[in-house]
Each structure stands twice: as structure tokens, then as C-alpha cells.
Structure 1
């Protein structure tokens, strides 16, 4: 059958488009250089070209010669080498800035014995090798792989001979890396906090493993990487079993692609060889020798190819002695089986030895005690000197004369760049100002929330930008977002986001201490636009704070929405998180009365969330770091990024994905994914035990029965011996009746099923009762009487905590009646919150 021309063209286009969809990443820069060779060399399925006569590569060396080998070599790339008797450099034209692989090949027996030749290699900014020799090296050849962020239109590799010797190289690769492969942020361990700015570091690949699978060579990897088998790094060979599935069954996503790791890596895995071991902490462990003077980027690859159904595999990941991920449930994160997932960390070597260990182990709360891992990458980060090998910097290794010209060029480039940048900033500012004036009736684009308003719907109390003349992004009838801050005011308050003023880091971004012009101390939360999770939490926090006002909830003072920034300004809590007063710092211990008052304050805030509005609000992340203390140690609940509106009147729960912090997570919510106010009650029960025992909610280094504070403390409470595990600073200073009531309250909060737990109102009443028992006992003349039956009648104030303090969310009244507070509590609860900025 004859095909018409237009049909043929359509057919060709379809084929071409289909090819483009399936094609792998095509690097903008792809230099494969066979140094010293006179002809092309085929190696690992790729063609390496000679280093002489390359149009986009210049070799600057007046003292070099070529050697070749007629004997057998490990690979064709080692057949020839270029030897330098003086400083020499390769300069590569870079078409696209960003991360690039730099791969170097060395073989000292190419034509002559170069075993004793010291090899020093530097880039424009980083030291890759410093005086390396093969004399004490246990291999006949050397392959090195680095990831360098190139920020100019050229990259220079310089080889520096030393001690009157020579230097040499056999092969070089300079290849672009997709932007999504190596991140700019990872989770730091010990302490656990996000670390940003990784693009400023050079990385060296130290280990790249295909767990449970065979060697994956560069030909079978989309980015030319090599993945070796993990067996020789296993601490106990019999501790792991191999699992394999068809690579075609791997379901890649937008965030995890074949560039992240090939499907042959995700299609194999190591799983626990014996799930029923005596020690539940470190079941399968890999040990890696490393240089203790550096930090390491660790990427763990996961893909649940083990389970037959969702939510049946939950395990822990440890790096060294740190719990990197607790209760990792892959199917909750990916939504399906056979879907790849990875997690990035920054860690040091082990304190005890020059090693880095990675372990998987079962989670104590999981139904199936098993663990799995599919791949592992460990990359060394450059140190403060910009080196990956030793302490010398580039400027110390390259003589000043040889780099003088480049320095002059850099200076000129910086000046020109600065002038251009200032001009662009000015143009952008004028454009943004013009745009603001044109969009008076519209909200800003930084937070597309359903709370938008405009100047026609705003009352006289609404927030108006005095500088732009436009309505604030979120306009509410009661000026809930408070004062509008210009970005310059934020910069002045935080000293341009001075890192010395950093209070904390979360998924949303960073929190800084600030000082306003009038001397008011504030906390400034700056959203991170690159964090999708952070933006979602940021939106939720604004939605919640726009509805809430209570003495025991951290208050919002104002916001800034200039320059595409997402910034919220809160009242400053001078004494920081509750946890820092319990353990991990050298702060003085809290008295029993202080602890009770703090718990009561937090309970009041949570009770208000649950009952103070037409529809309850569930915090979903109650923990000691989210209970903040002001200068008078008044407790206030903070961080509403995970909060969720509670069930309607005709519902019993909200069905939602499990979120929260492990150790505080309601087990019933975890199992059934059904959220209620009682989930907050369980978390608060964990807080009560943490306050009493002054130890973390989860501590995996403790014996198995002590890892989870809820289980451990409940066992002692049921024995009536809670005093045996409480903070040693409280021994002999707590009224037994008060402690008994406190322990009973915590026990009820930690009931396995939500229906058996009290409401936050009941918890609040019992804690106030425990406080009154403590205060009354202090005034009695019978300190040895431990029975509450002999204590004179205690006048408890009837609990109507919110009859006079309900927030009228839609009616413009967002205050509480401080005079209605329970008179039985300490004077610390009579402190009135400074209304400035509301």
C-alpha cells in the first residue's frame, strides 16, 4: 500500500517524538579525553578522543611528553598517558553551568614506571588530589570520580608536579550532571537539621553500591556511573538476604528517574536475614573505611520490592550511631509498591574509628519486623580549604605567577558582573513596583490561599501596605496577619539574616531572632521556596494562625510578602523550646511546680484548639520542641504546619496520610490513618513522660525495652513506681500525691485506643489538680503523709475554661478573657501577652 507524503511525515514525527521521550539524558558538556593518544579509544561503550587538536579544549603545557604501553593494560583508556614535567592545565569550554562529573584515570605503567610520581590535581577552586603516589597503593590503576559545580564558561584542570618529579594522566571525563541528581540540601545528623548550600562544595565518590545485586558498569547506567556489589562491606555476611525482581517492574516517578539510579539498582535489594533477633537496633550493618577529617554526603536508595501489600514494611535507618530515619514506611511515601525513593544525609565518620556505618533494623511499632535497602552512595565533601585530599588550598599549591592572569580576569569579571547585577536589580525593582500599582485589587502570588481579600472587602483594621498602597496577601476582617513589614525592615531586624541569630531550621525554611526598630524582640520565619513540603506547611500555618488567638498559642505579629519572599514574624519566646530545659543543654533544671505549670499552659493551648472554634483543630505534631517558653516560662504551643481541621459534627475522624514525629505518633492513627483530637492527647501523654523523665521520646541506643519512652514509662507507671525513673533532680522534691495524679493522667493519655483517652479538657483539669496538690502540700505541716485522704479539703475551681474565651473567628473578635483564668494556678499564668502588632 502506498503511503501518502503527509502520512509518512506524520509517522516519522511520531517515531522521533517517541524516541525523544524514551531517550536518556544528553549532557550539554561531554568531554571524553584519551590523554596522549593519537587516535580514538573505545572504552565502556563510549568513544574517547585525543587531547590534541580538540576544538573546545586547550592544553597549556610547555613541558609534556607522551608515553604508551604495548603490554596488557587494565582497560583501553590506560594504553597511553601524557606526562608533565612542569605545571600544565587542560581548559574546557563549558556550555552549561552546574554540576559536572570530573573523572580521572591513572595507570603508572604506561610506557615507563611512574609509581613514585606524586600526582596533584586542582580545579579553579578545589583540590582533588594532593601528592598522591602509587607506592603504597594496593591497585595497579586509579580511577577517581568527582562532582564539581561549575559557575563559569570554562573549567580548568591543573596538574602540578612536585619535588622535581613529573605528573601524569591517562584519561579525563568532564560531563554535565542533570540538575535534579545532586541536591543543594540534605539532612544533617547529630544534630538533626537541614543543611543547605551543598552546591558550594566539591564531592568525591567514595562508595556506590548496588545492594543485593551484581556490578553495574558505566554502559548500563544513564550517567556513566559504576555500582559495585555490597557483600564485602557487610559486617556480618549472613545478616542479609538478596531479593531480585524484573527491572521492568520498577515504576519511576517525576522526582525519581533513571538518572537518579538505574532500574537494575532498584530491582535488587538486601533484606534482613533474621527479623527475630535479640537486639532490635542494628540488624544489618555495612562498614566503610573513610577519612575522619571530612564530612560525607550519604544517599540511601529504597524501593519496596519485598512486600505483597501496602503499609506492611516499616523499619529504621541508622547512620553511625544516629537514627537517620525512624519508622520508614515506603508505601506511605510513594503510594505504591516497586516505586523508587531516596533520602539524603550529611554525616561525619564514626567517633570511635575511621569508619562510617549504615544500618537497617526493624521498627518496634511495626507489624512486620523487616528492613530493606536497594542502593547506597557515599560522597566526601570538600573541607574549609576547598580540598578533598589534605589541608592545602588551591592558592597554596599554584604559584602566584601562574594564576595572576586568571585572578585579574576574575576581578574584572566580578566588577562587570556587579555593575550588571545592580542594573538588573534596579530594573526588576521598577518592574515589581509598577506591577504592584497595577494589581491593587488582587492578592500577591506568593501564597495562593483561599483567604485572599482586596481593598473593597477590608475593614478599617485590615492590613494595608503603606509602601505599595496595595492590600496584603491575606486580608482578614480582624487584621489577623498584623503588621506589614517591608523586606528591608526584615533585613534590618535580622542583620541580613545573620547566621548567629539562627534559632532553628525546618522543612519550611529557617527561623531567626530579630529586633524591631522599637527594640521589640521577634522570631522571623523565612520560607524556603525550593521546598515543596515547606510551602505546604507554610500555607497551613498561615491558615491556622489567621483563625487563632490564645494566650498559650504563639502569636503572629506580622508578615512580609515583598520580593517573592514568604516571611512571617512571631512573638519571640525568650526561653526557647521546652526540650532544651529538660536535657541536652546545661540550662538549670526546672522545678516540679514549673513543669506542672508549663504542662498546664500547653494543655490550655491544645484544649483551645480542640474546642475554641466551631470546628476543632488537631495540631498533629505535639512535642517538646513545639512547646515554647517566654521570658516568664509561660508555655505556648507553636508550629501549626501539620495542623488539620478536625472532623465535622457528623463524623468521628478525619482520614488522612500519617504525619507527625515518631515517638509521639498515636499508634491508632498510625495503623488506621484516622485522625482525631485524641491523637494530640496521645502525643501530649508522651510529652508528660518526657517532662518527668527528661529523656528523648525515642532513643535507639538504649536497651530494647527502654527505646520508646511511652512503653518504658507505662510499665513503671503500672507498677506504681514512676518515681524510680523520674529526673534525679526531682527526687525528694515532689509530693507523692501530685506525682500519682500526674502519672495517672499520663497513663490515660497513652491508652492504646483513642476512645479510652481523656479529652484535653479532662487532661487540663487533672494537671491543675496535680498542681494544687503540690501547692497545698507545701503549706501543710504533715510533709510525711503521702495519702491524699488526709489532706484538708482542696477547693477546686469549676472548670469552664472556654465559656468566656471562645474566639469569634468570623466575627472579628479574636481575643480571650484573661480574667476568666483558673485562680488555682500559679501567677505565672496571669501574664498578659503583649498585644503589640496584633
Structure 2
């Protein structure tokens, strides 16, 4: 069926090209500026004509320090053949005929033969009140050109685009579009979900017109690339395949575009009929049943909210009221029991729904999923198109935290006025602040004995009882409201820090001490009074996920102590703050030593020792407590290194107690970071210790190849490191993709053992994966092969086909033979104890020993 659909799609595309694909072009924009910057003649691009910026009668360029550049050599598109280069602040002023939203599209390409180093030129672009780009450069950008699309509200008869070069630098632009948007295309409302139970954070009670937007993703599900030439509003729609989490989970379907039945409220301006004529439906996810979701994963900036529009059209069904399914954004149900027949009244009728969401709390991604409704007769789901637009923040920015007024230089007269105002008010403000400070100190002193009696404003009762307690109520009547609780400080949960101590340790959360940002909040380096270095994680009151992390971290780390787990020193729960204090890890996260920084590369031995340390920590979690603990977010950012490069597992905010003895798994909502998620857990929502093993397998490949787990900018087959590295491992050519710094410096036998271990970890089904004890044993073996390669025999090809069966019996200090024992571990505890006494291996030779 999939092949037939693709044949139909290809034939339709050919027909589209042959007929010129004339769409219902009913909209004529009131404002339509197509500007070829620096060009001396008109430029035809995607069926439209761009006019030189020097010839446009309704456009004025204000700049006394700009010049043009052009190139006759190969460029990505004709629109990039010329550029206007600015050595000082310059602006384009557009005269606007009709107020409302406008598309502002910017084209950038650093012409290689312009005589200027445009690749390193920082680009900052602002409108009258919105920051579009802030210090972007091509230096660390993966692409050769940059196209940006924004939706800006204009309430006056002009729009000004200002280009701000940094000191002694240049800025440039190749082309600009300013085009009117029909009012119906971007309405003022977006829902957070139709269901009362829907929990997506949104702006359902707020208007969207006050926000500027930046197009981040616009996808044609299951269909071809649609360029501006084939869209009435000049939009580009790309295919969705590279964003699919599991490629085989989706199936392309298509119909004749002429069969799409637009309505009065949904027209070709909403989306071209090619978007609604193609779709992704549920394919083969290689699971026993059909109860799985089709998921798309999108890297996003976690500091912004996103407008999400999902396009639907039932081109699958043969009759009405058959197709009913669910739509998810991140881990939340955005729309439950979505019945397109009821909503549209027919087949092949377009429909869309708008939402506003943050990124996933656990990672810098936004996910969109479709899946069958459990009450429906048919097990299927569909999605035709998807648009994701970033919303401007409180600073009026779409790139960073700086506002327009902070980026534009102030006039000298304004500086003088501000200086006079400050001078007049300085004395009064100082006096008022002193009085307020004195009153505050008195008030704080009078209430110091009662501050711990009120409930924490973040915490729904009875999570902690009060701001310093766990939920353990006394026998005092709760009706009286005077029940006492057992304090955290008296429960061996670490030291309680006052908030003032936290402020002193972090120099009032000095941004220069910032170590990182996570779902819970920001992490700062701190120094206690006795000189002890600590890491201070300050919760974000607006993060619901942070609340769960605070509780879980304290509960988990208060009962866990291990050399390879980051230790919790204490906490602060005061002044409406939630703060966790950890031991300081001087060398930061493992990922920082793999890529993205200028830190020196790790040696192969260092990498093995780090992986072994992390494996020991995870093995302890799985086996060291009365009931196992599943970390659920194993990744290179959660493996931290101390000053001696000793690895410690961190961040237990998503951890979950493992299954009881009479259970095989824990049924729970999917949490974790995409790229590291166990596909079996993702599909079936069944969590086991083997889910951590899969994530650790991804870490092993990341350590070897020094690239992110997911990188959507790479070719499709390379996006997911697990799939890509496994394809090379199966060919026995893992050395072809490993870090270039390791080439020629790794013992082949050690690399072979390492690759086989990672391969077993990444097995599709959990039952086929080794335990963390087995993984640890094999990594230690790989380290020994590296350290004593001259005296060790390379293992036989069949010696590691089943990792749990491997035993090493030391005959001489450095003479080790490997044997295969069918049916699992048959050695005795004495055997394991003897092996552990050697200087070569740890006590974990027999995993059952722990």
C-alpha cells in the first residue's frame, strides 16, 4: 500500500509541474515589497520578481555607510547574487497601506568573493519594537545561507527594519520581503486544548496579536516540498520525514489535490490543497498491537513559547465517523477523541486547530504526536500539516533577552535628560529605599519564628505539610490547622540552608556564576562560608515540572549515597524559593568534553573510565536499594565529572521506583529526552531498568562519535545517532565514524568490545539487552584490553554474542581466556569472588554478586 501511495504522489507531483499548478489565488496583499538588496536589476525568484532596493519608490534607505556586493559565481539561489553591506547603523523604512500583520522575510548569504569577511559578521536586526535577530553569525552555523520568516503586527503607516553592526564590524542582507497577511490566517486566539483535562500551558485567555512570531517549522506531512511559488502567501512547506521519531511508524497517504473541499473559513490561504491532499497515517512501529503514537520531534529554544497549528483532512476514510484519534503536544493531550467527520461534516474537508505550548520540560524539544483513541472502532490517526511559530518574549524579542531600546544607541539629548532625571530622583529614591529596607528588616525579624509555619506557595497540600516538612502529620487534629510535622532537617535529608546563605554563596545569583539551565531551573556555582564549592540549583516558580523534580530529588538522593552518584548536600525552602545544593563537579557535564566547546579531547582510556563510572552509578541504582530505581533521563548532560574526571550520575528529577518483584515493568507516562528514549518504552509506556540501558547505549555511541544524539540538520540517515552508529557497527566499521581525535589511538580489540556492548544496549526489545551489571563488566573488559593489549588475546568473534554469558577466569595476572557457557551464568559465587580478587577486574565479574 505504501508503494502505491508513493507512486500516486509522484504522478501527482509530475502533474503539478506539468499544469503549472494554479491555486485559488483570491488574496491580493495590500502591501507587497519584494526587495533585492544591492542588486542593479530585477531578480526573478520562485516565480516572483524582486526589485532593487535603490529603485523602489515607496521604500527609503537611511544609511550613510553602506555599499553593495555581487557575485557571478555559484550561489544557492538567484536571490543571493547580491547583498547590501552596512558598516554603520542603517534602516529600511517601508510605507504601509494597511495595518495588521505582515510577513517579514529576510535572506542572508555571506558572498564568498565580496572582498569582506561576511561569514564572521554579526547580524542584528530589529523593527520599531521587536528584536528579530541578535548577533547571529555564519561562523558556527551549519548552513550556507539563512532564511528567516516573521509575522509582525503593524499599527502605524510605516515599518522600519534596522540593521545594527557590532563595533568595528559589518552587517548585511541579500533580500527582504514585507507582505500583508490576511486577518483570517493568524487569528487572535489559540487554545490550550478543548478538553477540561487538557494541561498544555497556553494563552487561551490572551490575545496573540500583541506577540510577534517567527516561523520555526512548517511541514507538509507525507507530501513534497511546497515552495513560495505554489503557495498564495509565499510560504514554504517542507517534508516531515527527518523529524519523525520512528520512520516506520508513519505511512504516506495522498489523494488528488482537486478533491479537497475548502470551506468559507478554511481556504487556500490557510494552507495549499497539496498540504491537505497528503498526510501521514499510522504505519508499522514493530509492536505487537497498534496502540502506539506517531511522533515528530523538534529542537526548540526552551526560553520561548510556541504557537502550534495542526492541519487535518480525512483523506483516509471511505465513510463518515470512522476516524477518531488523539493529538498530543509534548506529554499532554492537546485534543482527545478528535472526530474529523463531526467537525467538518464530510470527507476531504480541511480543518485546523491552534495551540500555544512551551518546549518539553525535560529537554530542549517540542514534540507532536498522534495516536488512536482507545474508544474508537478504527485504530488509526492522521496529520496533514504542521506549523510551529516562536512567540516573542516579555522583552519584545525573538532572539535572546535584549529589547530594542537596549540594542539601539540612545541619542545624546536623551542621555542628558535621563541623567537629569536620575540626578533629581537619586536622593529621594535612596531615602525611600533605606526606609523600606529598615521596615522590611523589622518585619522579617518579627516573623522569623513563624516563617516556617506557612504553606509553600508552590506546593499543593499536603505535599510537604509546610515549607520545611515532608508529609508526615502528627496525631494533632487536622481540623484545627495546628498539626505539627516532622522537619526535613530532622529527617537526615541534608543541611537546611537559609535563603540568605544561598544568596551569599552565589553572590545573589550572579549570572557570571551560571553553570547551566534545566527543566527545574538555573544552576549556579556557589561557595559556602567554609570555602566549600557547591552547585546551587534554583527552582523556577513557573515550572510545574520543577516542583516534581524538587520532591523527587530530595526523596531519591536522601537515601542514595554512592561514589558515582552526585551527592545532595542540602536544600532551601524559604521565601517562596526551592533550592537544591549539590557537591560541585569541577569539570561539568560529560557532553562539554565531547563537542560544542574548546575543551581538550578526552583520551580513549578517559572515556572508558568515565563510562565505567557512570555504569557503576546506574548499576547501584538498579540493584543497590531494596527496590530498584530507574533514572529515566540518562544522557551525557546528566553525567558530571569532578576535578579528577570521576563520573557521577546526576539529575534524579524524573527517576522512578522500579517494578516490584511480582511485576515486569512500571506503567507510566513517557518521560525523558528524545534521542535517548527507549523505543519500547516510548511505544508501550512500560518502564524497566532496560530503558536506562538503552539510554546508556546512546551515551556510549555519543562518547565514541562526539556528536549529539539527535541532529536534524544532518542527512536523514544520520539524524539519530543510535540508528546511524548501529548501521556502522553491524558492518564492523565503527572505527570509520569515531572521533577523529581517536583515530590510530585505540586498540581494535577494545573498540570491538565497546561496540558490541553498545550494540547490545541498543537492542530493539528490552529482553534482548544486558543488565547494567553486564554492561559494566564488559566495559571494564574493554578497558583492560586497552591497557594490556600487548598481552591479551583478541576475543573470538562468537565470544560476545550473548553478553550475560561471558566469564573471565584469570589464569595468570595478564593472561585471560574467554569462554562461552550456554544458558546464562553458571559460575558459582566463589568463582566470582576469586575473580574479583585479581588486580584486573572489579567485584562485578558475576553480576549476581550485587
Q: TM-score range by the shorter chain?
A: 0.5 to 0.7
Name the residue aligned to 1:32. Answer: none
**Residue 824 (1) aligns with residue 840 (2):** yes
The CA distance in 2 between the partners of 1:191 and 1:656, in whole Å, is 43
Q: 1:468-511, CA deviations, whole angstroms, 9 ceiling, x for partnerless residues?
A: xx99842565x232x23233332222222221111111121111
Is the Cα contact below 8 Å between 1:514 and 1:524 reproduced in 2?
Answer: yes
Offset at residue 545 of structure 1 (A): 0.8
**Residue 430 (1) aligns with residue 445 (2):** yes
Q: 1:419 aligns with which of 424, 431, 434?
A: 434
Offset at residue 456 of structure 1 (A): 14
| Cα gap change, 1:657 to 1:496, in 2 (>3 Å) | same
Name the residue aligned to 1:496. Answer: 508
Offset at residue 703 of structure 1 (A): 1.2
Offset at residue 255 of structure 1 (A): 3.9
| Cα gap change, 1:317 to 1:783, in 2 (>3 Å) | closer
Q: 1:158-177, CA deviations, whole angstroms, 9 ceiling, x for partnerless residues?
A: xxxxxxxxxxxxxxxx9xxx
Is the Cα contact below 8 Å between 1:271 and 1:371 reproduced in 2?
Answer: yes
Is the Cα contact below 8 Å between 2:391 and 2:398 reproduced in 1?
Answer: no
The CA distance in 1 between the partners of 2:500 and 2:646, in whole Å, is 32
The CA distance in 2 between the partners of 1:545 and 1:584, in whole Å, is 30
1:336 alignment partner, SS class: strand
The CA distance in 1 between the partners of 2:643 and 2:523, in whole Å, is 18
Q: 1:334-372, CA deviations, whole angstroms, 9 ceiling, x for partnerless residues?
A: 353477532469xxxxxxxxxxxx999999xx9978651
1:372 alignment partner, SS class: strand
Is the Cα contact below 8 Å between 2:565 and 2:617 reproduced in 1?
Answer: yes
| Cα gap change, 1:307 to 1:708, in 2 (>3 Å) | closer
| Cα gap change, 1:489 to 1:208, in 2 (>3 Å) | same
1:658 alignment partner, SS class: coil
Offset at residue 383 of structure 1 (A): 10
> What are the residue-to-residue correspondences of 1:155-554 with 2, within 5 Å?
207-208=151-152, 251=194, 255-261=202-208, 272-273=219-220, 275=222, 312-317=293-298, 329-330=328-329, 332-337=331-336, 340-343=354-357, 371-373=385-387, 377=391, 381=397, 388=404, 392-394=408-410, 396-398=412-414, 400=416, 406-407=421-422, 410-411=425-426, 414-436=429-451, 439=453, 473-475=487-489, 477=491, 479-481=492-494, 483-554=495-566
Offset at residue 682 of structure 1 (A): 0.5
The CA distance in 2 between the partners of 1:823 and 1:449, in whole Å, is 52
Q: 1:139 aligns with which of 85, 95, 98?
A: 95
Offset at residue 415 of structure 1 (A): 2.7
Is the Cα contact below 8 Å between 1:314 and 1:369 reproduced in 2?
Answer: no
2:547 alignment partner, SS class: helix
Is the Cα contact below 8 Å between 1:541 and 1:640 reproduced in 2?
Answer: yes
Larger Rg: 1
| Cα gap change, 1:250 to 1:564, in 2 (>3 Å) | closer
Is the Cα contact below 8 Å between 1:550 and 1:605 reproduced in 2?
Answer: yes
2:517 alignment partner, SS class: strand
Is the Cα contact below 8 Å between 2:534 and 2:581 reproduced in 1?
Answer: yes
1:777 alignment partner, SS class: coil
> What are the residue-to-residue correspondences of 1:774-793 with 2, within 5 Å?
774-779=786-791, 792-793=815-816
Name the residue aligned to 1:811. Answer: none
The CA distance in 2 between the partners of 1:665 and 1:116, in whole Å, is 53
Offset at residue 142 of structure 1 (A): 8.0
Is the Cα contact below 8 Å between 1:312 and 1:368 reproduced in 2?
Answer: no
Q: 1:638 aligns with which of 650, 661, 673?
A: 650
The CA distance in 2 between the partners of 1:498 and 1:243, in whole Å, is 40
The CA distance in 1 between the partners of 2:457 and 2:470, in whole Å, is 19
Q: 1:703-752, CA deviations, whole angstroms, 9 ceiling, x for partnerless residues?
A: 11111110011001111111111122222222222211111111111011
2:696 alignment partner, SS class: helix
Name the residue aligned to 2:721. Answer: 709
| Cα gap change, 1:621 to 1:390, in 2 (>3 Å) | closer
Name the residue aligned to 2:768. Answer: 756
Is the Cα contact below 8 Å between 2:329 and 2:367 reproduced in 1?
Answer: no
**Residue 567 (1) aligns with residue 510 (2):** no
The CA distance in 2 between the partners of 1:395 and 1:775, in whole Å, is 66
Offset at residue 251 of structure 1 (A): 1.8
Offset at residue 640 of structure 1 (A): 0.5
The CA distance in 2 between the partners of 1:533 and 1:318, in whole Å, is 19
Q: 1:157-201, CA deviations, whole angstroms, 9 ceiling, x for partnerless residues?
A: xxxxxxxxxxxxxxxxx9xxxxxxx9xxxxx99999xxxxxxxxx
The CA distance in 2 between the partners of 1:624 and 1:704, in whole Å, is 23
**Residue 653 (1) aligns with residue 665 (2):** yes
Offset at residue 550 of structure 1 (A): 1.0
The CA distance in 1 between the partners of 2:500 and 2:701, in whole Å, is 44
The CA distance in 1 between the partners of 2:470 and 2:729, in whole Å, is 59
Is the Cα contact below 8 Å between 1:311 and 1:331 reproduced in 2?
Answer: no
| Cα gap change, 1:189 to 1:497, in 2 (>3 Å) | farther
Q: 1:96-149, CA deviations, whole angstroms, 9 ceiling, x for partnerless residues?
A: xxxxxxxxxxxxxxxxxx99999xxxxxxxxxxx9999xx74435585999xxx
Q: 2:676 aligns with which of 664, 669, 673?
A: 664
2:556 alignment partner, SS class: helix
The CA distance in 1 between the partners of 2:501 and 2:784, in whole Å, is 46
2:577 alignment partner, SS class: coil
Q: 1:391-421, CA deviations, whole angstroms, 9 ceiling, x for partnerless residues?
A: 6545634373x66764455435523541343
Offset at residue 592 of structure 1 (A): 1.6
2:648 alignment partner, SS class: strand
Is the Cα contact below 8 Å between 1:207 and 1:377 reproduced in 2?
Answer: no
Name the residue aligned to 2:70. Answer: none
Q: 1:798-824, CA deviations, whole angstroms, 9 ceiling, x for partnerless residues?
A: 999xx9xxxxxxxxxxxxxxxx99853
| Cα gap change, 1:361 to 1:705, in 2 (>3 Å) | farther
List gaps (5 residues or longer) in structure 1: 1-73, 76-113, 119-129, 147-173, 175-181, 183-187, 193-204, 210-215, 219-231, 289-300, 346-357, 459-469, 804-819, 828-838
The CA distance in 1 between the partners of 2:426 and 2:630, in whole Å, is 56
| Cα gap change, 1:552 to 1:375, in 2 (>3 Å) | closer
RMSD between superposed Cα atoms in Å: 6.0
TM-score of the aligned structures, taking structure 1 as reference length: 0.55
**Residue 590 (1) aligns with residue 606 (2):** no
Is the Cα contact below 8 Å between 2:59 and 2:93 reproduced in 1?
Answer: no
Name the residue aligned to 1:680. Answer: 692
| Cα gap change, 1:319 to 1:208, in 2 (>3 Å) | farther
The CA distance in 2 between the partners of 1:534 and 1:190, in whole Å, is 35
Is the Cα contact below 8 Å between 1:314 and 1:330 reproduced in 2?
Answer: no
Q: 1:197-217, CA deviations, whole angstroms, 9 ceiling, x for partnerless residues?
A: xxxxxxxx96259xxxxxx99
Is the Cα contact below 8 Å between 1:646 and 1:676 reproduced in 2?
Answer: yes
Is the Cα contact below 8 Å between 1:234 and 1:287 reproduced in 2?
Answer: no
